[in-house]
Structure 1
Amino acid sequence: MNAAFIEIDKIFKFDCLIFHDVDMFVEDGRHMYNCVDAPRHLGALVQKYNYTFPCQCHVGGVLSIKKEQFKAINGFHILFYGWGDEDKDMLGRLRANKLNITRYPQPLAKYTMITHERDKWNPPNRFRESFLLLHKSLNDIKKYGLNTVNYSIDSFTLKPTYTLLQLKLSKLNCY
């Protein structure tokens, strides 16, 4: 996500990012996909979890954040690729930078998650539990993220309705 941000930032003028899981669909047509002063956890209430949000411990599913806020928190940690816990890490980055998270009330915050099997090519993040324990300080946030992502571009396709960016991540040498 960091590499995509860096490359898209070279081409388009924008001030709002929305990170959106592909298996989530908003249920209410009045829902606004935009950025406000504070990062907004748009995908908080999901039918798979009976539209409850008992744990304020992540900002997963759908998140809107201003470009300058994303840069200030140094994006996502570079060890997060594959599946799992990048949304918890993101919450830690937002909180460490004293950014309050807002959420829409019901029914605007309701999403449906498509039922699907885990993608075998998207393995669980191997740094999940041990990494979350290591990654607690603002120092780590400034050390690993947008400023340290290392990648090359395999292909870049710009179409009228989408941009397809295929990247190759370089070996990670941060721990």
Structure 2
Amino acid sequence: MPRWHPAILLALASLQLACTLLLLASEQGGRARRFLAALFTSEEDGPFDYSHPVDVYTNLSAGLESMGGKSMRDPVFLSPCPVVSPLLVGPISVQLSGPVNLSIISRRNPWVLLGGRHSPPRCRARHSCAVVIPHRNRELHLALLLYHLHPILQRQQLHYAIYIIQQAGNQTFNRAKLMNVGFKEAMRDEEWDCIFFHDVDLIPENDRNLYVCADGPKHMAAAMDKFGYKVLLAGMKISRPSIRLGRYKMIKHKHDAGNAANPNRFTMLAQTRRIWRLEGMNTLNYRRLSREQLPLYTNITVDIGPSEKAPARRLHG
């Protein structure tokens, strides 16, 4: 085998580095960057094989039963759960033609208590979260989400509860205000570590995308970036999982008349920088019509009042 002079090896290494930099700067750089990113992906990000997903209920009951009976639920006498849950499987199969009967879904989740609450049966959860889902006239989507979300959260060994915030009436659907209502209603029950605002038509595809707190606001659906204006204005940094981990499947649907886009949305967004400190939780006004503890979730129906209009522009003279 020939021996190479150190100077030649150094030159070859420099040439290889230069070629790599040129490749990154070329029109094909996007493909090269993705290739190099895959080489340096952390273990938390994979490798994940989405071509062979696992049923979300696979071995779930057996795993929970092996940790103890339902009577072992007082966290005071339990040891902390493992840092990494042994129940996680990674990519899961999203069944959009799966069960839509809530009674069937409830039977598939015998460890979920009234109000959509759950705690690990034989260890003390390290994290707690409330999942708030704004909702109106999306019963099919809600059933599909609950079918997948409950076992995912149980696999993560979380102490959690699911809150469905229903908007009464036929006014324009106000998702943002319903999220504020959900935050306030959930915090009435418990000092949750985190509050997750969840679209009813987005289903997670990987149970290793953890519903736990980050240092600041956390965007779970990494590939879907629609909001966050006020978060950026407040100087907070949004954390996201990698695209390989933060995958969600959207349930396709048509918008009904009550869920039409607010015609004032662009004017309101244009004035966000001026008014964001003056609105939100500090001006939240609603009327709670009902609060029900159902087998899979806590259902809260509210009247949030008439549709909001864009603030009047100030005239300077």
TM-score by length of 2: 0.39
Aligned-partner SS, 1:39? coil
Structure 1 residue ranges without an equivalent (≥5): 47-57, 61-86
Name the structure 1 match of 2:203. 25
Q: Distance in 2 between matches of 1:126 and 1:9?
A: 32
Moved over 6 A (4+): none
| Structure 1 residue 35 displacement after superposition | 1.3
1:161 counterpart = 2:296:
yes
- Alignment pair present for 1:119 and 2:119: no
What amino acid is the match of 1:117?
A: K
Q: CA deviation at 1:38?
A: 2.0
Pairing of 1:1-175 with structure 2 (within 5 A): 1-45=179-223, 58=225, 60=226, 87=227, 91-137=228-274, 140-171=275-306, 175=311
User: In proportion to residue count, which structure has more strand?
Assistant: 1
Residue deviations 1:53-104, cap 9 Å, x none?
Answer: xxxxx4x4xxxxxxxxxxxxxxxxxxxxxxxxxx2xxx12111111101111
- Alignment check: 8 A CA contact 2:201 2:251 kept: yes
Larger radius of gyration: 2
Residues of 2 paired with 1:163 and 1:15: CA distance?
A: 18
Higher relative contact order (CA 8 A, sep 6+): 1
Give the number of equivalent residue pairs: 132
The structural deviation recorded for 1:37 is 0.7
Question: CA contact under 8 A between 2:285 and 2:304: conserved in structure 1?
Answer: yes
- Identify unmatched segments of 5+ residues in structure 2: 1-178, 312-317
Q: How many percent of aligned residue pairs carry the same amino acid?
A: 30
SS of corresponding position for 2:281: coil
- 2:296 aligned partner, one-letter code: T
Normalised by the length of structure 1, the TM-score is 0.68
